[in-house]
Amino acid sequence: MSAKKVIGLSFKTLLVAIVVGISFIIGAMVSGIGRGVPAPTGAAAATAAAHPANPLLLLFIASLVQAIVATYLVLEANWSGWKVAGALFLLSLNTSVQAAIEGTPYLRGRLPSHFIPHMLIMGLVASALFAPLTVWILGSFRRGPREAPGKRAHWSAARWTGTLAATTVVFMVLYYLCGYYIAWRARRSANSTPARPQSGASGDRWPGPGLPRLGCFRTRRCGRCCLWG
């Protein structure tokens, strides 16, 4: 690949990353996901105080990783146009559905009742914006479908079952290891950080779309996408 093509592809990938971030911000604003969510307390508050993060940087990193994956999928796909846009939409929406499934048992009673449905709405709006714009930026609407290879290897049902079972086991192990590590870090930070009185200031709430927490939420979603991949 020539240097000109590398620069052009890098620029398009960066543009897709910006589209991803803006799409999820719009999705958060439309869904109203941040309304009524309480400020973190206990170990979560101590961790946030001990390890402050730049929300814009987190949002950009998460968006960039998703943009790199989306760019690879679109450019390597045999499909083109709305067909690949629809596949990308379903793939992006899947992460919101998965997050909702996880949040139902683990976050019940800790977040407002509207949070899970609004998270699905946010993912639906963001995916509907992100998928066709990504395909358009990468020029997939202008090219026709690729020629199918002469012969493809077909997996048997037993191989598919074994591969999916092994992938599921690996994902569950990695997922819970990450969860326990985060919980251990939070508990350690809570024990090492002196308690502070609750101020109740406006900074403790989650106003509007909640850009700081949206950045953290997008980063966690990005990690889940990497595990699924």
Provide the domain count of the chain.
1
> At residue 43, does pLDDT exceed 70?
no
Determine, yes or no, domain membership for 199.
no
Determine, yes or no, domain membership for 157.
no
Reported as a single tens digit per residue, the pLDDT across 67-84 is: 999 999 999 888 888 999
> Containing domain of residue 32, as a range?
3-144+163-188+209-228
Determine, yes or no, domain membership for 198.
no
- Enumerate residues 6+ apart whose C-beta is below 8 A from 171: 227, 228
Determine, yes or no, domain membership for 39.
yes
Distance of CA 129 to the CA centre of its chain: 15
Most confident of 77-91, 102-116, 133-147: 77-91
> At residue 40, does pLDDT exceed 80?
no
Determine, yes or no, domain membership for 195.
no
Whether the model pTM is above 0.75: no
Determine, yes or no, domain membership for 156.
no
Whats the size of the chain, residue-wise? 229
Reported as a single tens digit per residue, the pLDDT across 188-197 is: 766 665 554 4
CA distances from 190 to 40, 45, 49, 74, 185 (A): 12, 8, 10, 44, 9
Determine, yes or no, domain membership for 151.
no
Determine, yes or no, domain membership for 54.
yes
Q: What pLDDT is attached to residue 198?
A: 45
